[in-house]
Amino acid sequence: MTEIKDIKVAVDAIVFGYQQNTLFVLLVKQKFGPFKGIWVLPGGFVLQQESLIEAVTRELQEEAGIKVNYLEQLYTFGDNINRDPRFRVISVAYFALVNPDNFALAQQNDTDAEEAQWFAISNIPQLGYDHNQIVKMAHQRLKSKLTYQPIGFDLLATEFPFSDLENLYSVILEQEIDRRNFRKKILSLGFVEETNAPSINNGSGRPARLFKFNKDKYYALLSNSFHFEIKFA
């Protein structure tokens, strides 16, 4: 007997947003299907003539009205053959980290997404399919990423007080870091530099000096696959 193969390929996007010392995840509410009215990750089926990255880029545009410059492939989910109650679906997940201030979420009436919304990572509802598992894995990957790849270019202002970078790491890692050790190590790597801009007064203590990223030194570090050990308080 010939076995009938009907396996569909989908993509899902885990877009993390960082704002006001909080990590968010972009979710959309399903308009149709078995999870109608339930929040899920943006995503959908890959069309016949498009690549995976084209598919996930299109789905984000259609369902949330946003375009992310860079998406990193996370994992392929398909071991659970019943992850979609309709039929067998294998999903390739991608994730990104952005500043929500740079995006205006649009509600697209011509897709299967009813609305799009940012949710704090600490307040993620029960999602459709296996999307809670996907978010959890993406969050763990993000934490691990901090040990070998500095982040912050798209999340902080062009010039920022060093405390903003410290807060960014603490929020994503969900643990208070050893700030003195962190500052010493970051500055020794050379990709964060003090600027000549006037200091800012945050209302407590002496004015804070401003820093900026040196992208040339940043990409040089990436090419050498450096390891950055973070100590906690």
Residues listed for the chain:
233
**Active-site residue flag, 115:** yes
Catalytic residue, from 62, 72, 114, 115: name it. 115
Per the structure block, which two tokens stand in for 77?
């989910």
Cα within 13 Å of Cα(87), Cβ side: 9
CB 151 within 8 A of CB 171: no
Per the structure block, which two tokens stand in for 89?
């679906």
Q: Distance between CA atoms of 200 and 42, rounded to whole angstroms?
A: 39
Distances (CA, A) of 150 to 26, 73, 161, 208, 225: 22, 18, 16, 22, 11
Strands (E), the chain: 7-19, 22-30, 39-40, 43-45, 72-77, 88-98, 113-120, 160-161, 192-194, 210-213
Give the active site residues.
115
